[in-house]
């Protein structure tokens, strides 16, 4: 029996003790008076792509799906695993078989029980070529037995390594051990799906009038590009501990308009546009919040033969990285509490401890001098200035950062940089085909573990657009998959990345929000920002 | 007249066909595709998706299937991005919204613009003229992407009179700002155009003759000057009507109206081929019809024109 089951039992015990108390809402602290109107309204940038758990691929859609459906495991406010439909799980000694025990009182919104069969159906559906889900790559990542053959159509979906032992026992067989497998079950792709409803309504099953879901909420309204509303699911097993009655997502593309509407009281949460945080923090200290997120922002060198010859020289790469004054980028340009980045993996990543890298202990002045020396050593200087082009996708914030970077290089090192911005899809294509010198990159973790970032620099990674290749890194990353303490290996990888500098880390993201002070329990410590409406509450003003 | 209309409609068919084919190839040749994403999909996953949407077929076959589906089933295909909906759904939901606030903006712009222009011309070089001209120029200098945020700031944040966005089934409070934002710059154009056209007509020989006959000013303007004055204005109004529907992307963006303009621009950026083509066809057909109506209106305004 592994840790998780013990944790699950502890949580169960504590909630058993709470039942019987008049208002058994275990996420509302004592002494808090709840507001009469428990409606949470937030802004989303774009219309969601889908609310079908196996199809959804965007953040906006995933937030809705997390409220409508419930997977085997959930995350708590700190991002730790807590029981969802499953009360716990056991792992076999070879770490290949996971047996989840499902709670008996879990129900669909139409009153049907949620059974292991619903998970079997959903997981097969996610891998089925017929479903053509863009998140089949995520299914591939789970290492469930036969998943690649099912996706390629070489095996029937029924051959997938999942099994309903009985109604409340769901068994998963993996093809290789995967330490973070349980964490993956909090992702929408692995949520259950109502087979009978999908078969009855086909593609229209997600319409508000048809949809049946098993989470704390049901979808009651969807006005594309305007808003969507989800309301309390009376059938949800933990309904009595759910406080928020209604969650409304308003689509507002322009972040400044969203901010105006927030200030007019139409919204409980919105994002702060780049550069505006200091002003808002001063005016609304209770409402302007910033916290680290699981994303990085960097520039990648083109290390192929098609890239500039200068970038083959590690001294050039390091000189450019050293000359970046990250404090100016984070404090003056972004100004939203973003942590400056001296390594690839965000410090907020669970379990990750950055090695003590040389440049972290230097002042910017020392780094600038070192940069000049390294560039001179590479043979570039006033007589032979370094020239290259840097590309980024069109966006006001990216442009500000790119301008700042190019000015730093110009003033400190005499480097001539040409800036070029491209529309998103063109940018992806050009970068993917190595048609660049230096290109912007950014990544948000798919799960809370350093490999979600470091794997990007594996020689075989599809996202390694600079084509950095180091056998030692590849080996360390491969070993980490099954290592007892992978974080030691990740620290070694970071050391190598510092020595070779295939990318220039710039900053790590922060969640920068205006959040109404009457919203309780917003999970600022959940670096993935996997939030659940059922855990929030609104205080009477 | 009837045969003229039929002839024009018949010509419209090849016109729209050319439009479809040209747009189809243009969008397919644009770099990146609907499923180009930050994380490149594994080849097998991409193959599954392309098979699902028929993108694995040769281009001519895709075009042929697309056209036959439209002709036989009036089916414009699935959206590649919004996987819960198809193009027919998206147009059915967005077009009535665009049409509602677009028509209202068109009416507001024409009525106010023409009245301003006529008054300014009749009271040429008076303070009324100067006020009307400055209003016209002011309105023209405020395109909808500037008007939008200003209106929200004033009426939602400062005064608190109107909701900052949304559609709510077309309730009047939600209509006011989109209509104002969309109509102002056209209003200014129409006012200027009307004023100069009216001035020209008022200086022409037949008006002098009418005045010489001793007709009262009111009758000179209403019976003799109005129709010829409107001719250049009408030729401008035709395209404006299509513009207020297609140019509504900023209104959709700032006021979250859920109209078609945003879906259109969004589909171009996300390479959602089917949505982009569907809306292009809709706008193309609309342009053809509106042009025909404009041409027919000429005949009513100007007796010299006969079909």
Q: What are phi and psi of A338, to 5 degrees?
A: -70, 135
Angle ∠(A139,A141,A143) on CA atoms, nearest 5 = 85
Q: Which residue of B has its CA nearest to A252?
A: B256
- Residues B268-277 have a mean pLDDT of 92
Q: What are phi and psi of B195, to 5 degrees?
A: -60, -50
Residue B166 pLDDT > 80, yes or no?
Answer: yes
Instruction: Flag if A463 and B256 touch (Cβ within 8 Å).
Output: no
What local confidence, expressed as pLDDT, does residue A274 receive? Answer: 87
Range from B40-44, B285-289, B298-302 carrying the lowest mean pLDDT: B298-302
**Distance (Å, whole) CA A201 – CA A91:** 37
What local confidence, expressed as pLDDT, does residue B217 receive? Answer: 85
Out of B51, B84, B167, closest to residue A203 by CB: B84
Residue A7 pLDDT > 90, yes or no?
Answer: no
Residue A287 pLDDT > 50, yes or no?
Answer: yes
Residue A13 pLDDT > 60, yes or no?
Answer: no
B120 reaches A (C-beta below 8 A): no
Range from A269-273, A297-301, B80-84 carrying the lowest mean pLDDT: B80-84
Instruction: Flag if A252 and B259 touch (Cβ within 8 Å).
Output: no
What local confidence, expressed as pLDDT, does residue A21 receive? Answer: 31
- pLDDT tier for residue B253 given thresholds of 50, 70 and 90: confident
Copy the structure tokens of residue A285. 């200290």
What local confidence, expressed as pLDDT, does residue B139 receive? Answer: 82
Instruction: Flag if A425 and B270 touch (Cβ within 8 Å).
Output: yes
Residue A444 pLDDT > 50, yes or no?
Answer: yes
Query: What DSSP element (H or E) covers A251?
Result: strand A246-251
Residue B170 Cα distances to A393, B41, B139, B163, B176, angstroms: 36, 41, 25, 12, 10
**Distance (Å, whole) CA B223 – CA A458:** 81
Query: What DSSP element (H or E) covers A149?
Result: helix A147-151
Residue A18 pLDDT > 70, yes or no?
Answer: no
Question: Which residues of chain A are within 8 Å of residue B147 when distances are taken between CB atoms?
Answer: none
> Which residue reads 């070029």 in tokens?
A420
What local confidence, expressed as pLDDT, does residue B228 receive? Answer: 87
Residue A342: which of A477, A503, A511 has the closest Cα? A503
How close is the nearest chain B Cα to the Cα of A429, in Å? Answer: 6
- pLDDT tier for residue A8 given thresholds of 50, 70 and 90: very low
- pLDDT tier for residue A459 given thresholds of 50, 70 and 90: very high
3-class secondary-structure state, position A87: strand
- Answer whether A432's CB lies under 8 Å from A124's CB: no
Question: Which residues of chain A are within 8 Å of residue B30 when distances are taken between CB atoms?
Answer: 425-426
What local confidence, expressed as pLDDT, does residue A10 receive? Answer: 38
**Distance (Å, whole) CA A158 – CA A150:** 9
- Find the DSSP H helices in B203-259: 205-212, 217-219, 226-246, 249-255
Residue A16 pLDDT > 60, yes or no?
Answer: no
What is the rounded (10 degree) CA torsion for A252, A258, A260, A264? Answer: 80
Q: What is the pLDDT of residues A393-405, one digit of tens each?
A: 999 899 999 999 9
- pLDDT tier for residue A475 given thresholds of 50, 70 and 90: very high
Residue A35 pLDDT > 80, yes or no?
Answer: yes
Range from A105-119, A255-269, A505-519, B118-132 carrying the lowest mean pLDDT: B118-132
**Distance (Å, whole) CA A263 – CA A266:** 7
What local confidence, expressed as pLDDT, does residue A25 receive? Answer: 53
- Find the DSSP H helices in A287-363: 314-322, 326-328
- Answer whether B187's CB lies under 8 Å from B143's CB: no
> Which residue reads 């509303």 in tokens?
A229
HEC string of A88-153? EEEECCCCCEEEEEECCCCECCCCCECCHHHHHHHHHHHHCCCCCCCCHHHHHHCCECCHHHHHCC
Other Cβ atoms closer than 10 A to B295: 17
Residue B78 pLDDT > 60, yes or no?
Answer: yes
**Distance (Å, whole) CA A121 – CA A132:** 15
Q: What is the pLDDT of residues A208-264, one digit of tens each?
A: 999 999 999 999 999 999 999 999 999 999 999 999 999 999 999 999 999 999 999
- Residues A457-477 have a mean pLDDT of 93
- pLDDT tier for residue A26 given thresholds of 50, 70 and 90: low
How much of chain B exceeds pLDDT 90, in percent?
A: 50
Residue A523: which of A353, A292, A339 has the closest Cα? A292
What local confidence, expressed as pLDDT, does residue A61 receive? Answer: 95
- Residues A119-143 have a mean pLDDT of 94
Q: Mean pLDDT of all residues in chain A?
A: 92
Instruction: Tell me which residues of chain A, numbers 314 to 353, contact chain B at a CB-CB cutoff of 8 Å.
Output: none
């Amino acid at each position: 029996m592994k840790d998780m089951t013990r944790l699950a039992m502890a949580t169960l015990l504590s909630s058993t003790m709470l039942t019987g108390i008049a208002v058994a809402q275990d996420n509302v602290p004592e002494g808090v008076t709840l507001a009469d109107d428990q409606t949470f309204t937030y802004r989303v940038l774009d219309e969601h792509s889908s609310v079908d758990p196996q199809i959804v691929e965007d953040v906006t859609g995933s937030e809705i799906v997390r409220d409508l459906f419930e997977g085997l495991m959930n995350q708590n406010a700190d991002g730790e695993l807590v029981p969802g439909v499953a009360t716990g799980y056991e792992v076999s000694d070879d770490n290949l078989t996971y047996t989840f025990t499902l709670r008996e009182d879990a129900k669909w919104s139409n009153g049907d029980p949620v059974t292991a069969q619903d998970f079997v159906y959903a997981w097969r559906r996610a891998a089925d070529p017929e479903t053509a889900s863009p998140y089949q790559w995520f299914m591939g990542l789970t290492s469930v037995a036969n998943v690649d053959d099912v996706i390629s159509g070489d095996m029937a979906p029924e051959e997938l390594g999942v099994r309903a032992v009985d109604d409340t026992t769901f068994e998963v067989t993996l093809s290789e051990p995967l330490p973070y497998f349980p964490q993956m079950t909090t992702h929408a792709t692995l949520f259950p799906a109502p087979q009978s409803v999908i078969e009855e309504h086909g593609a229209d099953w997600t319409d508000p009038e048809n949809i049946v879901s098993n989470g704390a909420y049901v979808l009651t309204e969807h006005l594309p590009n305007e808003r969507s509303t989800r309301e309390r699911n009376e059938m949800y097993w933990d309904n009595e501990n759910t406080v928020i009655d209604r969650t409304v997502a308003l689509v507002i593309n322009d972040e400044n308009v969203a901010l105006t509407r927030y200030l007019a009281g139409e919204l409980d949460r919105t994002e702060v546009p780049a550069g505006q945080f200091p002003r808002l923090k001063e005016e609304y200290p209770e409402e302007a919040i910033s916290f680290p997120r699981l994303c990085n922002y960097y520039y990648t060198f083109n290390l192929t033969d098609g890239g500039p010859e200068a970038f083959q020289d590690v001294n050039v790469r390091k000189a450019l990285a050293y000359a970046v004054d990250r404090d100016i980028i984070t404090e003056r340009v972004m100004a939203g509490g973003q942590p400056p980045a001296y390594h690839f993996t965000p410090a907020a990543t669970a379990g990750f401890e950055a090695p003590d890298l040389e440049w972290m202990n230097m002042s910017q002045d020392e780094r600038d001098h070192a940069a000049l020396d390294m560039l001179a050593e590479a043979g570039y200087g006033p007589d032979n200035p370094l020239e290259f082009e840097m590309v980024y996708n069109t966006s006001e914030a990216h442009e500000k950062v790119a301008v700042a970077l190019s000015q730093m290089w110009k003033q400190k090192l005499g480097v001539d940089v040409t800036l070029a911005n491209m529309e998103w899809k063109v940018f992806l294509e050009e970068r993917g085909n190595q048609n660049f010198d230096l290109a912007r990159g950014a990544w948000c973790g798919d799960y809370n573990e350093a490999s979600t970032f470091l794997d990007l620099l594996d020689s075989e990674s599809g996202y390694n657009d600079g084509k950095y290749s180091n056998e030692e890194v590849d080996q360390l990353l491969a070993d980490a998959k099954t290592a007892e303490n992978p974080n030691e290996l990740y620290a070694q990888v970071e050391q190598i990345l510092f020595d070779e500098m295939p990318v220039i880390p710039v900053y790590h993201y922060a969640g920068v929000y205006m959040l109404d002070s009457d919203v309780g329990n917003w999970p600022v410590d959940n670096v993935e920002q996997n939030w659940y409406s059922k855990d929030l509450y609104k205080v009477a003003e | 007249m009837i045969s003229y209309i039929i002839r024009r409609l018949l010509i419209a068919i090849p016109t729209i066909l050319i439009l479809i084919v040209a747009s189809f190839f243009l969008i397919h040749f644009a770099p990146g595709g609907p499923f180009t994403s930050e994380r490149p999909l594994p080849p097998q996953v991409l193959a599954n998706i392309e098979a699902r949407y028929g993108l694995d077929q040769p281009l001519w076959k895709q075009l042929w299937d697309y056209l036959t589906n439209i002709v036989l089933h009036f089916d414009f295909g699935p959206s590649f991005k919004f996987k819960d909906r198809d193009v027919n759904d998206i147009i059915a939901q967005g077009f009535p919204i665009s049409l509602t606030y677009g028509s209202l903006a068109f009416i507001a712009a024409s009525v106010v613009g023409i009245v301003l222009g006529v008054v300014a011309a009749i009271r040429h070089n008076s303070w009324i003229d100067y006020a009307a001209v400055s209003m016209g120029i002011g309105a023209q200098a405020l395109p909808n992407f500037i008007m939008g945020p200003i209106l929200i700031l004033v009426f939602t944040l400062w005064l608190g009179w109107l909701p900052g966005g949304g559609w709510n089934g077309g309730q009047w409070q939600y209509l006011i700002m989109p209509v104002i934002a969309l109509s102002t710059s056209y209003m200014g154009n129409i006012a200027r155009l009307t004023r100069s056209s009216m001035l020209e007509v008022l200086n022409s020989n037949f008006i002098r003759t009418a005045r010489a006959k001793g007709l009262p000013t009111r009758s000179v303007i209403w019976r003799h000057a109005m129709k010829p004055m409107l001719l250049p204005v009408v030729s401008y109004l035709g395209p404006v009507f299509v513009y207020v529907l297609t140019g509504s992307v900023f209104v959709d963006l700032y006021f979250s109206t859920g109209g078609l303009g945003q879906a259109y621009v969004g589909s171009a950026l996300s390479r959602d081929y089917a949505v982009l083509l569907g809306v292009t066809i809709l706008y193309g057909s609309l342009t053809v019809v509106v042009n025909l109506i404009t041409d027919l209106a000429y005949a009513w305004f100007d007796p010299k024109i006969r079909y």
